[in-house]
Amino acid sequence: MKLATFAKRNSPGAPRLGVVREGGLIDLEKTAAALGCALPAKDMISALGSRTLEAVDRLATEGEKRGFFVQADSVVFLPPVSNPSKFFCVGKNSRQHRQELVANDMLKEMPSEPTGFVKLVQTMVGDDVEVLRPEGITTLDYEPELVLVVGRHAHRVKKGEGRSYIAGITVFNDLTAREIQKREVASGTRFWTAKNMPGFAPIGPYVVTLDEVKDPFDLWVTCHVNGELRLRENTSQYIYQIEEVLEHFTRYMPFEPGDLIAMGAPKGVAMGQPNAAELYLKPGDKMEIGLEGLMTLRTTIAGG
């Protein structure tokens, strides 16, 4: 099932929960009202429990039978989970991307265990939006990443049980101002400003529930800029996968339903290329970040 948080285009209102089906979106609130039944969930977080997901699917199926569609081009896809308690990013999780970091003085020693940092929730934006390249930034880079969506309270997860805590997946672009990142690395800070400017976390356009994904660690993550393929890497290249990440980090902190865990950047970002100056994002550039066969996230870079 594909779950989306959306709003009507050109018609301000509260975000709504929908199910993406062929032909458009099923607006769950309107469908429940039309059928005179209870709404199983009002937002993404409340929908993520397994029993609730089953109820949401039943309601969407009935709405589809009755033709209760909202055309996809009439809505705005917002960040799928609009209010997670945490947006956690696993760092340095691709062997080949680690080499790019070393070559650019971003990494001195190879980590011996999973590392991570926090992406501010306030940086999130949805699909098909403009993100401003801040004035003076000339090395804005793209980092497409698989994101795990936590489905239930996870604390001290035992080895081998991590997958059972994940409700679904989505994709996001960990936009990074490299010149600021280099200064922050040199000074010992941990990637706050470089990765946490307004709009630096495009995400979505929806969550695909895990039952529809044969193996989240056998997916192709892609990035196109102005129609040109910039990178394509399989998620099997991640050093640490669901089991290791959940076991390691939940020793120290709990994750809650709706929390997001980005699994790390692949090889092929602009910084790692010999012609990096030509590849860094510029105003007017149009990006498409994807999980092949599942979703595409569109972003346009704005600025002077």
105: left (phi over 0), alpha (psi -120 to 50) or beta: left
pLDDT of residue 192: 75
Tokens of 65: 């039978």
pLDDT of residue 141: 96
* Helix H or strand E encompassing 193: none
- 173 φ/ψ angles, rounded to the nearest 5 degrees: -115, 110
Residue 97 has pLDDT above 90, yes or no: no
pLDDT (tens digit per residue) in 238-271: 988 899 999 999 998 999 999 999 999 888 899 8
Q: What is the pTM of this model?
A: 0.93
Q: Which domains, ranges and CATH numbers included, belong to the chain?
A: 2-77 (no CATH), 87-302 (3.90.850.10)
Residue 105 has pLDDT above 60, yes or no: no
CA distances from 245 to 66, 88, 241, 254, 261 (A): 42, 11, 6, 12, 9
Tokens of 199: 């709009």
β-pair partners for 201: 124
CA distances from 144 to 9, 149, 189, 266, 296 (A): 26, 16, 23, 7, 11
pLDDT (tens digit per residue) in 38-87: 999 999 999 998 889 999 999 999 999 988 899 988 999 999 999 999 99
